[in-house]
Structure 1
Amino acid sequence: MAELSGPRLYCCCKCRNQVALHDDVISKAFQGRNGRAFLFSHAMNYTVGPSEDRQLLTGLHTVADVRCSDCQEVLGWKYVRAYEETQKYKEGKFILEKSKIVKENW
């Protein structure tokens, strides 16, 4: 019988700080600055930069960069506000770029 391990996690690619749970992935079909990105409902062990308006592929959003709390690597961003009604579901959620995170406990 296999041993049960902890939850499947995503960690910072630089320092391996735990930043998100696999169970919090909403979608893997997002685009970040450097390629594919995942939309998460929650993140952990991060700091948030100042909010700014950015024109993204899906319209204008107010976002704030999300950094690893240990090494300060920019991992993605948090949606603060969506201006289009169809994009409101993103508010309060996180984009973490696939190239900036690694899997742990898989």
Structure 2
Amino acid sequence: MAELVGPRLYSCCNCRNNVALHDDVISKSFQGRNGRAFLFSHAMNVMVGPKEDRQLMTGLHTVADVYCSDCNEVLGWKYERAYEETQKYKEGKFILEMSKIVRENW
């Protein structure tokens, strides 16, 4: 009988705290501060820092850094507001940098 395997997850690279589900990946073609990043519809076990305006590659956005709730590692950011109409789909979504997360249950 085959073993049941849990959902594919992403965890903090520092402490292995589960932070996102693979099923919540919207796009794998984003750029973070330190290289490749994924856009997620949801994140879990994270803390959201204060909002600030940042000029990103796709224009001005209000974002908040996202931290692991266990070890406080900065994992990426949350899009709070997009000022350009074509970027509005990002609002409420999370960027998690590939250098800051690891795969679990793959």
Q: List gaps (5 residues or longer) in structure 1.
A: none
Amino acid paired to 2:5: S
Task: Tell me the secondary structure at the aligned position of residue 47 of structure 1.
Answer: strand
What is the alpha-carbon distance in structure 2 between the residues aligned to residue 43 and residue 3 of structure 1?
27
Q: Which residue of 1 aligns with 2:105?
A: 105
Q: Which residue of 2 aligns with 1:7?
A: 7
2:42 matches 1:19? no
The aligned length equals: 106
Task: Tell me the secondary structure at the aligned position of residue 26 of structure 2.
Answer: strand
Q: Which residue of 1 aligns with 2:75?
A: 75
| 1:18-57 mapped onto 2 (5 Å cutoff) | 18-57=18-57
Segments of 4+ in structure 1 off by > 3 A?
none
Give the superposition deviation at 1:4.
1.6
Q: List gaps (5 residues or longer) in structure 2.
A: none
CA RMSD between the two structures: 0.5
Deviations 1:45-83 (A, max 9, x none): 000110000000000000000000000000000000000
What is the alpha-carbon distance in structure 2 between the residues aligned to residue 2 and residue 87 of structure 1?
44
Give the superposition deviation at 1:2.
2.5
Amino acid paired to 1:76: G
Q: Which residue of 2 aligns with 1:94?
A: 94
Identical-pair percentage: 87
Give the superposition deviation at 1:3.
1.1
Length-normalised TM-score, structure 2: 0.99
